Amino acid sequence: MADILDDLAAEYRQLDAMLEALTPEQWSRPSGADGWSVSDVVLHLAQTEEIITDPSIGEGVAFLSPEPETTMDGVADAMVAAERGTAPGDLLARWRKAAFATPEALRAHPPGTRLSWVRMSLSPRTLATTRLAEHWAHAQDIAVPLGIPYPDTDRIRHVAWLAHRTLAYAFALDGLPDVPVFCDLTAPYGTRWTFGDPAAPTRITGLASEFCRLGARRLTPEETGLVAEGPHGADALRVVRNYAA
- CA-based R_g, the chain, Å: 18
The pLDDT of residue 137 is: 97
Looking at the predicted structure, is the pLDDT value of residue 245 above 90?
A: no
pLDDT band at 63 (very low <50, low <70, confident <90, very high): low
Among 46-60, 71-85, 114-128, whose mean pLDDT is lowest?
Answer: 46-60
User: Distance between CA atoms of 190 and 169, rounded to whole angstroms?
Assistant: 29
Mean pLDDT, rounded, for 86-94: 97
Alpha carbon 3 to its chain centroid, in Å, reads 17
DSSP, res 73? H
The pLDDT of residue 55 is: 74
First to last CA, the chain: 26
SS3 state at 30: strand
Q: What does the mean pLDDT of the chain come to?
A: 92
b (16+ CB within 10 A) / e for 84-114: eeeebeebbebbbebbeebbebbeebeeebe
Residue pLDDT, tens place only, 23-59? 999 999 999 999 999 999 999 999 999 988 887 776 6
Mean pLDDT, rounded, for 116-144: 92
pLDDT band at 81 (very low <50, low <70, confident <90, very high): very high
Q: Which domains does the chain have, with CATH numbers?
A: 4-146 (1.20.120.450), 156-239 (3.30.1050)
Return the percentage of the chain with pLDDT > 70, whole number: 93
The pLDDT of residue 67 is: 66
User: Distance between CA atoms of 91 and 87, rounded to whole angstroms?
Assistant: 6
pTM for the whole thing?
0.93
